[in-house]
């Protein structure tokens, strides 16, 4: 069963300590010391969710494949739970060379200058993860990754968590249920617009602050795939989980471009192959992880879990439909055209 674990306070203090040392290291990195010692290579992989999530497990699989295939010459240090960096500073840390790898959600690229990634946040756009893969594994997905070099990043691949559900201390089944609620969102203009269209007030917060914000009443509710909801113990502070499946949450693995280019072709290949395997493992287990988390929640019995009727889902979908048009100019007309083309092709 999935374990629900938050880092204890003293662990977070140690983490702050580590973050300070990492920032000191970043000064060295910025001064040109990005090249790794000839004998070995250490990759620091930072992310914000628990080990026992699809992302956490994929990172651990990557670590074990890389260390095994390089005979220990390449070491991967995994820092889950935002131990090193949170949503607001991890990209800067990567660009400075204080960490080598991240896997932020696709919703987090807009605020650092890639609004086109927010197309993945459009509500009720994808009918299934297979639809998403047609985008991420096709030319559009590859163009999105290539564009990351604009800000010194190299995109190495995508992987899924799955579909998001809404939570609060009340059922969220139709638009009227959202009236006046403060809903935590990731820093995505599309997700913020989605919440406004439903009548709620979006509050953008880093993932690592979300549970506390829910517990203290700073926000009333949020949206998550169930594995995140469970591993962050949000069920202790949210009485109702509504299975809306209204939007997709997935990730892109990114590295510092300068660091990546400093690696030998052989090391790049080893890392790419290990990553491809780890990401496809992550994709395989994502559904199961979310299903297990739902089962665990049902067994615990402390959260009321609501399944929407087709009519209720339609009302939510209709309420957020204007977001697609309203945010098209932020995402960019050419990206929207490419998206529509790819989805039409998939449907046809
Ligand atoms: C969130 O901030 O809600 C998610 O991006 C967390 C994650 O990485 O799954």
Question: Is residue 331 a part of any domain in this protein?
Answer: yes
Which distant-in-sequence residues (6+ apart) come within 8 Å of 26 by Cβ? 93, 96, 97, 98
Q: Which atom of ligand 1 is nearest to the CA of 251?
A: 8
Residues with CB under 6 A from ligand 1: 48-49, 55, 105, 161, 186, 207, 224, 228, 249
Q: Which atom of ligand 1 is nearest to the CA of 105?
A: 5
Rounded distance from Cα 210 to ligand 1 centre (Å): 10
Instruction: Tell me what pLDDT residue 24 has.
Output: 36
Question: Is residue 262 a part of any domain in this protein?
Answer: yes
Hey, whose CA ends up nearest to atom 3 of ligand 1? 207
Give the 3-state secondary structure percentages of the chain, helix then strand then coil, rounded to 5. Answer: 55, 15, 30
Instruction: Tell me what pLDDT residue 239 has.
Output: 98
The two tokens of residue 59 are 């990172």
Q: Give CA–CA dist 151/206, Å, rounded.
A: 21
Q: What angle do CA 6, 9, 13 make, to 5 degrees?
A: 120
Q: Taking each helix axis from N to C terminus, what angle separates 265-300 and 129-136, rounded to the nearest 10 degrees? A: 160
pTM of the prediction?
0.88
Question: Is residue 192 a part of any domain in this protein?
Answer: yes
Question: Is residue 39 a part of any domain in this protein?
Answer: yes
Cβ-based neighbour number of residue 190 at 10 Å: 27
Residue 113: CATH number of its domain? 3.40.190.170
Instruction: Tell me what pLDDT residue 347 has.
Output: 74
Q: Which atom of ligand 1 is nearest to the CA of 47?
A: 8
Instruction: Tell me what pLDDT residue 28 has.
Output: 37
Question: Is residue 292 a part of any domain in this protein?
Answer: yes
**Which one of 101, 207, 290 would you pick to mutate in the ligand 1 pocket, going by the greatest count of ligand atoms within 8 A of its CB?**
207
Question: Is residue 59 a part of any domain in this protein?
Answer: yes
The two tokens of residue 75 are 């070491």
Question: Is residue 1 a part of any domain in this protein?
Answer: no
Rounded distance from Cα 105 to ligand 1 centre (Å): 6
Show the domain range for 198. Answer: 16-347
- Could you read off the pLDDT tens digit of each residue along the chain, which spans 348 residues? 344 433 333 343 344 334 434 433 343 344 344 444 446 999 999 999 999 999 999 999 999 999 999 999 999 999 999 999 999 999 999 999 999 999 999 999 999 999 999 999 999 999 999 999 999 999 999 999 999 999 999 999 999 999 999 999 999 999 999 999 999 999 999 999 999 999 999 999 999 999 999 999 999 999 999 999 999 999 999 999 999 999 999 999 999 999 999 999 999 999 999 999 999 999 999 999 999 999 999 999 999 999 999 999 999 999 999 999 999 999 999 999 999 999 888 776
Question: Is residue 2 a part of any domain in this protein?
Answer: no
Total count of domains within the chain: 1
């Amino acid at each position: 069963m999935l374990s629900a674990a938050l880092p204890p306070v003293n662990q977070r203090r140690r983490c702050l300590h580590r973050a300070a040392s990492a920032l000191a290291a970043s000064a060295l990195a910025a001064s040109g010391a990005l090249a790794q010692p000839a004998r070995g290579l250490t990759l620091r992989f930072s992310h914000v969710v628990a080990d026992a999530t699809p992302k956490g497990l994929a990172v651990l699989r990557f670590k074990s494949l890389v260390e095994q295939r390089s005979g220990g010459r390449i070491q991967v240090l995994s820092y889950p739970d935002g131990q090193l960096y949170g949503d607001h500073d991890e990209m800067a840390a990567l660009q400075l060379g204080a960490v080598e790898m991240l896997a932020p959600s696709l919703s987090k690229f807009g605020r650092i200058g890639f609004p086109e990634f927010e197309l993945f946040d459009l509500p009720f756009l994808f009918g299934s993860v297979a639809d998403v893969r047609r985008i991420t594994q096709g030319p559009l997905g590859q163009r999105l990754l290539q564009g990351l070099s604009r800000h010194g990043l190299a995109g190495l691949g995508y992987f899924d968590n799955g579909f998001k559900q809404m939570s609060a201390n009340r059922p969220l089944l139709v638009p009227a249920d959202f009236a006046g609620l403060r809903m935590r969102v990731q820093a995505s203009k599309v997700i913020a617009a989605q919440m406004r269209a439903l009548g709620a007030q979006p509050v953008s917060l880093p993932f690592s602050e979300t549970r506390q914000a829910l517990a203290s009443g700073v926000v009333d509710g949020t949206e998550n795939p169930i594995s995140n909801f469970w591993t962050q113990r949000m069920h202790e502070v949210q009485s109702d989980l509504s299975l809306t499946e209204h939007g997709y949450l997935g990730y892109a693995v990114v590295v510092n471009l300068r660091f990546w280019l400093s690696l030998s072709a052989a090391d790049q290949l080893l890392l790419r192959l290990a990553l491809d395997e780890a990401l496809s493992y992550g994709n395989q287990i994502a559904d199961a992880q979310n299903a297990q988390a739902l089962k665990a929640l049902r067994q615990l019995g402390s959260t009321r879990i609501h399944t929407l009727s087709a009519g209720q889902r339609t009302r939510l979908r209709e309420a957020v439909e204007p977001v697609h048009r309203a945010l098209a100019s932020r995402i960019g007309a050419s990206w929207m055209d490419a998206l529509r083309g790819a989805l039409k092709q998939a449907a046809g």
